[in-house]
Amino acid sequence: KHRKTGRDVAIKVIDKMRFPTKQESQLRNEVAILQNLHHPGIVNLECMFETPERVFVVMEKLHGDMLEMILSSEKSRLPERITKFMVTQILVALRNLHFKNIVHCDLKPENVLLASAEPFPQVKLCDFGFARIIGEKSFRRSVVGTPAYLAPEVLRSKGYNRSLDMWSVGVIVYVSLSGTFPFNEDEDINDQIQNAAFMYPPNPWKEISSEGKDDYQTWLDLREFETRIGERYITHESDDARWKEHAYEHNLEYPQHFIMAPNPDDMEEDP
């Protein structure tokens, strides 16, 4: 527990002598990013301190992650309602990041933490070690992140920006709905990503609604227009009303933290 606040916390520890300098650098990058982020959909940084031998990063303690939730579910995959509920929150958190010109660069279910063990939990993004500050019209070319969640433009060394996160959301949707990756593990994953050669086996995709399939395929369309559609989708000014209506229609409790995302009118112009 945090001695001053009494809240439960989690502590990341890096042994300076044992681990490579790169890991320490990623941890410091994560701290630098999180210090400027204050949003209900992003893990809260309590503090950081260090000794000559170790670096300690103190964060709020949460209850597992989205991957654990997927694997422990009855069918080792999540129902569409729960997937939509959680992915909506991921998008709202991304909207906050992208308005600040921050790209997460390593979105995956393991980096989506759960605030509770409830069936429809609040989620928070974590692990910002690979995060980068990128303007809307700027591009990065360094390859960072987890291979299975990388976008085609990264693998082609064409440069990437916020679209990288949106592609990763698409893979998260697939993994959540099916419990598997969209790739054939016996073949080169990089080639499959670049060619959009994704698998849709009857089990479980025959049980998934056409709406769910359409939503997923929209995220992972190779065309630049489609890889960016998610950004426009979550920056539309009627978002909050639309998601409140969705929650009402599906008998879900609309999380109040959804409405705390920044207004598009507050977005600063890129230099």
Active site residues: 106
Q: In what order do the strands lie in the sheet with 54-60?
A: 9-15, 54-60, 45-50
Mention every residue, 6+ apart, whose C-beta is less than 8 A from residue 57: 11, 12, 13, 27, 30, 31, 45, 48
Q: Tell me if 243 sits within 8 A of 255, measured CB to CB.
A: no
Cβ of 242: how many Cβ atoms within 10 Å? 12
Backbone φ and ψ for 40, nearest 5 degrees, come out as -60, -20
Helices and strands per DSSP (H, E), number in the chain: 11, 7
**Distance of alpha carbon 8 from alpha carbon 61, whole angstroms:** 6
User: What are the start-end ranges of the H helices in 73-162?
Assistant: 80-99, 152-155
Report residue 222 as tokens: 């190779």
For 144-164, letters b (16+ CB in 10 Å) and e give bbeebbbbbbbbeeeebbbbb
Residue type, 217: Q
Angstrom distance (rounded) from CA 1 to CA 10: 9
Of the candidates 229, 210, 114, the residue with the CA atom closest to the CA atom of residue 169: 229
- 154 near 193, Cβ under 8 Å? no
